[in-house]
Chain A
Amino acid sequence: MVKQAKATKASGGDNFTRWLVIGMVTLVVATGAIFSVVGQKTKANESFIALKDFKVGAAVAATVDTNNGSGISINTGAAKTIDLWEDPQCPVCNTFEVANGAYIDDLIRAKKANVVYHVLSFLGNESVAAANAAYCAADEGHYLDFHKAMYLVQPALENSGFYTTQNLIKIGKYAGLESPSFVDCVTKVSKLDLVKSAYESMAKYNVQGTPTVFFNGKLWERKSGTFLVEEFSAAFEAS
């Protein structure tokens, strides 16, 4: 013990060496962190390339149905109803969107169905931010475009710093949302109450995961592992 304590005074334990080492460690950590932050920014910018040729569709009016889990409802009152439960960060929802997104878009634009989007946020803070932005987009009549654009740039990893206020506004810009009211709504997280109430309604409708689909209130029990549009459209037609 004594031997070792004495020793530190002589080597490596003097003030200069100590501060030198602390300085070097700080330098390594700071350089590494800055390198990572810059890398992430570049990567985020690169992911927007997916939106380069994005075409904004005509505005579609949407309402929030507080009697139906605060879902974003389009074509309210149509004969058939589809309830979609999704989380902006859920990768399987992206798979679902790739398979059936265009078909559902067509149904909505042809006014063939009342589609209610339940935007969930159980995957963390970034889902909350993205869900809030989705409600903001619904107010402006561009929910469909925003929804599509959001899934096109969805990062592979959850909560990895992609759905920032800045990037959500940028997604909005590609989706035809350039009004100051949208920017304001995203920045101030104005729709937090709706986001929370949508999340809390999961238990009421016994939704345990995403994506979950109901046709006219009846759970869609798909038979294939993937989300084949043939199976989805057949189920819709039969409903």
Chain B
Amino acid sequence: MRNINKKFQPIISLVSRLLLGGVLLVAGGLKAFKPDESAGAVAAYKILPTNIAHLMGYALPWLEIAIGVLLIIGLSIRFAAVVATAVMLIFVVAIISVWARGILIDCGCFGGGGAVDPSKAAEVHRAYLVEILRDLGLALTGIYLYFFPYGLLSIEKPLQIIEEQ
């Protein structure tokens, strides 16, 4: 296992970066220019007071874009990975929270969001499960990147490689 990881680590790190960074960039990009939609989506979770929820709705897409870009180009990978993992875990907790309180919403992960008609309860619950698993998976890639930040096609390079040049 250790040897396999050693051999493929640069590729796994690259794939993790593109996956996590790509998802964040797309999610942020789809929401950044629809601030009212994004603000409404955060408010629909009914976790934060409305004003703070709106502010978070305005800021979150830009954070996703910034972290996504850092991961894709491979700069400050560890910092970006920690933030991305934290963000994903917060999403997981938020979705579990709405599920537990019986609130039916569209997660608004890639735009959209808000309350959903009670007749679609089954679909929404299935979506919650998929979202939780997806975000946990993305959090795992973030954790991997914390331990193995350097891979192929990264601006940031480990010391050894620089010395060899």
For B, the interface residue count at a CB cutoff of 8 angstroms equals 40
Q: B16 → chain A, closest Cβ, in Å?
A: 14
CA distance A39 to B33 in the complex (A): 10
| Bitwise interface map of A from 124 to 158 toward B, beta carbon under 8 Å scored 1, else 0 | 11100000000000000000000000000001011
A223 contacts the other chain (CB 8 A)? no
Which residues in B have their C-beta under 8 angstroms from that of A6? 158-160
For A, the interface residue count at a CB cutoff of 8 angstroms equals 39
Stretch in A21-29, A63-71, A97-105, A181-189 touching the partner: A21-29
Which residues in B have their C-beta under 8 angstroms from that of A21? 70, 75-76, 79
Within 8 A of B (CB), among A151-180: 155, 157-162
| Bitwise interface map of B from 54 to 84 toward A, beta carbon under 8 Å scored 1, else 0 | 1100110111011100100001111100010
Contact A125 B150 (CB under 8 A): no
Selected contact of A4 from candidates B37, B63, B158, CB within 8 Å: B158
Contact A36:B63 (CB < 8 A) given known A10-B158, A21-B75, A43-B36: no
CA distance A43 to B58 in the complex (A): 14
| Bitwise interface map of B from 141 to 165 toward A, beta carbon under 8 Å scored 1, else 0 | 0000001111000001111101000
Contact A157:B75 (CB < 8 A) given known A7-B158, A11-B157, A33-B58: no
CA distance A10 to B114 in the complex (A): 46
Contact B156 A159 (CB under 8 A): no
Which residues in A have their C-beta under 8 angstroms from that of B158? 3-4, 6-8, 10-11
Contact B62 A31 (CB under 8 A): yes
Which residues in B have their C-beta under 8 angstroms from that of A9? 159
Contact A124 B43 (CB under 8 A): yes
Within 8 A of B (CB), among A2-21: 3-4, 6-13, 17-18, 21
Q: How many A-B residue pairs have CB under 8 A?
A: 121
Which residues in A have their C-beta under 8 angstroms from that of B83? 25
CA distance A115 to B75 in the complex (A): 64
Within 8 A of B (CB), among A98-122: none
Which residues in A have their C-beta under 8 angstroms from that of B39? 36, 40, 159-161
Contact B66 A160 (CB under 8 A): no
Which residues in B have their C-beta under 8 angstroms from that of A225? none
B22 contacts the other chain (CB 8 A)? no
Selected contact of A159 from candidates B32, B65, B75, B114, CB within 8 Å: B114
Known: A7-B159, A12-B76; 12 extra A-B contacts, CB below 8 A, are A4-B149, A4-B158, A11-B157, A30-B59, A36-B32, A37-B35, A39-B35, A40-B39, A157-B37, A159-B39, A160-B43, A160-B54
